[in-house]
Amino acid sequence: QVQLVESGGGLVKPGGSLRLSCAASGFSFSDYYMSWIRQAPGKGLEWLSYISTMSTYTNYADSVKGRFTISRDNAKNSLFLQMSSLRAEDTAVYYCGRVDFWSGNPPIPRSGMDVWGQGTPVTVSS
């Protein structure tokens, strides 16, 4: 079945780095845009970044621009989020999501994520 499984979360000190991974299965990974979304404890959802099918297009929310880098390996059906200069306010559950529709010039995701992973928690604390 269609599945996304995140890993790599954990406890990290302020200023530190962490690399999240998302393993995809059950669908043709290279045919879809992919995204990272996070949810701070007791809070709502924040869309952080997306990457196009061939990694041509990426974009970031202002809150993580310059600190986080999204990437993918289509040969390994995997999505990544490299996070650096982490802050306490980055503490959240991080979800990867499959994007099923994009449009425009440049094309951006339009209808959110149709498949979500179970999330991986990241805690930034000294």
Partner 1 sequence: DIVMTQSPLSLPVTLGQPASFSCRSSQRLVYSDRSTYLSWFQQRPGQSPRRLIYKVSNRDSGVPDRFSGSGSGTDFTLKISRVEAEDVGVYYCMQGTQWPGTFGQGTKLEIK
Please report whether residue 45 would count as binding partner 1 according to CB under 8 A: yes
Other residues' Cβ atoms within 10 Å of the Cβ of residue 101: 12
How many of the chain's residues bind partner 1 (CB under 8 A)?
23
Q: In this chain, which of 27, 67, 116, 121 binds partner 1, going by CB under 8 A?
A: 116
Stretch that binds partner 1, among 14-22, 71-79, 81-89, 101-109 (CB under 8 A): 101-109
Please report whether residue 40 would count as binding partner 1 according to CB under 8 A: no
Give Cα separations from 75 to 19, 23, 30 (angstroms). 19, 11, 8
Instruction: Give the span between the Cα atoms of 105 and 119, in whole angstroms.
Output: 30
Pairing of strands 102-103, 108-109: antiparallel
Q: Which amino acid is at 41?
A: P
Please report whether residue 3 would count as binding partner 1 according to CB under 8 A: no
Other residues' Cβ atoms within 10 Å of the Cβ of residue 73: 13
CB of residue 13 to partner 1, shortest distance in Å: 27
Give Cα separations from 115 to 12, 17, 23 (angstroms). 28, 27, 13
The smaller minimum CB distance to partner 1, of residues 13 and 111, is found at: 111
Please report whether residue 66 would count as binding partner 1 according to CB under 8 A: no
Q: In this chain, which of 13, 19, 87, 110 binds partner 1, going by CB under 8 A?
A: 110
Contact positions vs partner 1 (CB under 8 A): 37, 44-47, 59, 61-62, 95, 101, 103-104, 108-114, 116-119
